[in-house]
Structure 1
């Protein structure tokens, strides 16, 4: 195990700090401080990879390696997200 987690040298998405906005065509759309990022299953994120994008459940799962400790991180769509809804309200 590493005592310190390596820095994000390749500017990969930090799935824990990004906000999941929508899932479109098996691609997850995340909001970060730098803008929008679009990722799918198998894409690399900071410390790991996206292992599941589930549009039906509104869920994205990543497997992260935190210095030898493997974690499963799940992000879900917020119910009030306007991008999740098919029809808008007037």
Structure 2
């Protein structure tokens, strides 16, 4: 069940993310409640605010192809929600 407020993009690659977020952070989720059968990547702002911009895929490998190569992957911390797979900054 897609969140109706979300704007689903084909990819984050080639997009000027800094026009959508002060300091772009992309969080990758596996089967979150609003997309229970998918992986999603959501653009966040550095101020700990989610944006409405997401990309959706069936596999983690496909999601990774949709994230810009110049971003650095960070594993989730123990305090993060269990559906968080990784974070890109």
Same fold, judged at TM 0.5 (above) = no
Q: TM-score, normalised by structure 2?
A: 0.33
Using CA pairs under 8 Å that are at least 6 residues apart, name the structure with larger relative contact order, 1 or 2: 2
Structure richer in helix, relative to its length: 2
Structure richer in strand, relative to its length: 1
